[in-house]
Amino acid sequence: MAYRFETEVVHGVHQSDPQTGALSMPIYQTSTFIFKDSEQGARRFKGQEAGYIYTRLGNPNTDALGKKIAVLEGYEAGLTTGSGMAAVANVIFACAQAGDHIIVDDTVYGGTHYLLEDEIKRIGIEVSRVDASRVETVARAMKKNTTLILIETPANPTLKLIDIAAIVEVAHQGKALVCVDNTFLTPYYQRPIEFGADIVLHSATKFIGGHGDVVAGVFVGKKDFIAKAYKIATHYGWTMAPFNAWLLLRGLKTLALRVEKSSQNAFQIAQWLEKHPAVERVYYPFLPSHPQYELAKRQQKGGGAIISFELKGGYQAGTKLMDSVKLCTLAVSLGDCDTLIQHPASMTHAGMSEDAMREAYITPGLVRLAVGVEHVQDLIEDLQQALHKI
């Protein structure tokens, strides 16, 4: 029987303990698994029999998490990794090798930027950075050896949107795959499979975990792609720990509740920020002032919990605001129950050159607010007193 999202996120791929009947899936905190005899061990190593061997190669907790995200996103299979960046690297390595070409949007998470510049180009994979919100620039960037288009939508941290269906059309004409980083919205608010995306990845550290206590990644796609990616992941040792998978499975049960509440808060705060005299501009997909508002309404089921806004006072105003908030927590990351605030120019993107920041639309006064589940009026009052000091 097919269930609605709120039910599926609680009950989907549920595994209770068959011996004790424990409701919560046990933590299989083990490095290795016992074979009943040498023949069984041989069969498992040869792939002739399903079963566990060694946690780097598979574990019930990590497998359950990968399957659950695949179900929620609508794909055949999923694979977990030790971090969101491991998921990004795993996808790239599964899609491209030396001599291949990939296209990446010009606005991406800082860690992805550094991976591309410091590692991916170094091993001989050609990278083109383009504004993927303009589909014609993607089409012009396509080459015969293009194997992957990697996008974030909404993009981090500017909340720029990308038309997934349009990018898929261009990519598939050239036989490239499309991977969507869906960290900001989760499958509760956006399902890229509905627009033809081949792969979806998450920094599971964020909304999937939801409590700021685990670092992890996950991605989903067709079975043959995940099988290929699995070999790469096990060779590099990008394995997620069983306890981390257990924490994520627990956090997932409240995903719909947390995302709904934090997004309601974010929408109210975004509306309030638009009217504040210290704020030059607010970027939030479900505000009519967002330049891609119509795309947001068509592609997303909600605005999400992330707001970016530009302060009139530039860099100094940004750092002053960081030092003046009391309830909002000065920290990177997002998707927690706590509201987190950060200033990209002085924090997450500080290592980028001025040209690189300008190309990624990271302006000196840009602030990113990852809204949590607190009472919205308390958050507004905290921002009010902090903005008053600028």
Q: Is 222 a catalytic residue?
A: no
User: What letter does residue 239 receive in the DSSP assignment?
Assistant: P
Q: Catalytic residue among 28, 109, 188, 189, which?
A: 109
293 noted as active-site residue? no
Helix (H) or strand (E) holding 176: none
Structure tokens at 332: 């990177």
Do residues 378 and 354 make contact, with C-beta atoms less than 8 angstroms apart? no
54 has catalytic annotation = no
Contact 225, 92 (CB under 8 A): no
The answer to whether residues 250 and 24 touch, using CB atoms and an 8 Å cutoff, is yes
Which among 44, 67, 129, 206 is annotated as catalytic? Answer: 206
Is residue 138 within 8 Å of residue 103, measured between CB atoms?
Answer: yes
Residue 181 among the catalytic residues: yes
Spatial CB neighbours of 47, under 8 Å, sequence gap ≥ 6: none
Identified catalytic residue from 43, 56, 143, 301? 56
Residues sharing a CB contact under 8 Å with residue 77, sequence separation 6 or more, in sequence order = 66, 67, 70, 220, 221, 222, 223, 226, 227
Give residues with Cβ within 8 angstroms of 48, minimum separation 6: none
Q: How far apart are the first and last CA of the chain?
A: 56
CA distance linking residue 73 with residue 129, whole number of Å: 27
Helix axes 255-274, 376-387, angle to 10 degrees: 40
Q: At what angle do helices 60-73 and 242-252 cross, to 10 degrees?
A: 40
Query: One of 106, 181, 198, 382 is an active-site residue; which one?
Result: 181
Active site residues: 56, 109, 181, 206
